[in-house]
Amino acid sequence: MTTLASLLPVGLAFIMFALGLKLSVEDFRRVLTHPVPVVLGLVAQIVLLPLTAFAIARAFDLEPTMAVGLMILAACPGGVSAAMITHLARGDTCLSITLTALTSLLSFITVPLIVGLSLAYFLGQSGAVGYPVGQGVVGLFLITLLPVAAGVFVNHAGWMSAGLSRALGKVATAVFVLIVIATFVTEWPSITLHFAAVGGAILLLNALTMATGAAIGTLGRLPTDGRVALAVECGIQNSALGITVAVSLLAQPALAVPSVIYAFLMNVTALLLILIRQLQVGRAERQAVRS
pLDDT for position 8: 79
Is the pLDDT reported for residue 100 higher than 90?
yes
Measured CA to CA in angstroms, residue 277 lies from 90, 121, 147 at distances of 7, 40, 26
Three-class SS state of 78: strand
Measured CA to CA in angstroms, residue 94 lies from 12, 45, 83, 210 at distances of 16, 17, 8, 18
Summarize pLDDT for 226-247 with one digit per residue, the tens. Answer: 999 999 999 999 998 898 888 8
Which H, E and C letters describe 191-221, residue by residue?
Answer: HHHHHHHHHHHHHHHHHHHHHHHHHHHHHCC
**Confidence band of 249 (pLDDT split at 50, 70, 90):** confident
**Confidence band of 134 (pLDDT split at 50, 70, 90):** low
Cα-Cα-Cα-Cα torsion 246, 117, 108, 238, nearest 10 degrees, comes to: 50
CA gap 267, 152 in Å, rounded: 27
Measured CA to CA in angstroms, residue 141 lies from 27, 111, 130, 149, 203 at distances of 19, 19, 21, 10, 31
CA gap 199, 204 in Å, rounded: 9
* 89 DSSP 8-state letter: T
Long-range contacts of 193-201 (CB under 8 A, 24+ apart): 194/257, 194/260, 194/261, 195/261, 197/63, 197/66, 198/62, 198/66, 198/69, 198/70, 198/257, 198/258, 198/261, 199/261, 199/265, 200/60, 201/56, 201/57, 201/60, 201/62, 201/66, 201/70
Query: What share of the chain in percent tops pLDDT 90?
Result: 59
pLDDT for position 1: 47
Summarize pLDDT for 30-81 with one digit per residue, the tens. Answer: 888 889 999 999 999 999 999 999 999 999 999 999 999 999 999 999 988 9
Domains of the chain listed by start with CATH number: 2-282 (1.20.1530.20)
Summarize pLDDT for 190-234 with one digit per residue, the tens. Answer: 888 888 889 999 999 999 999 999 999 999 999 999 999 999 999
pLDDT for position 132: 67
What is the overall mean pLDDT for the chain? 89
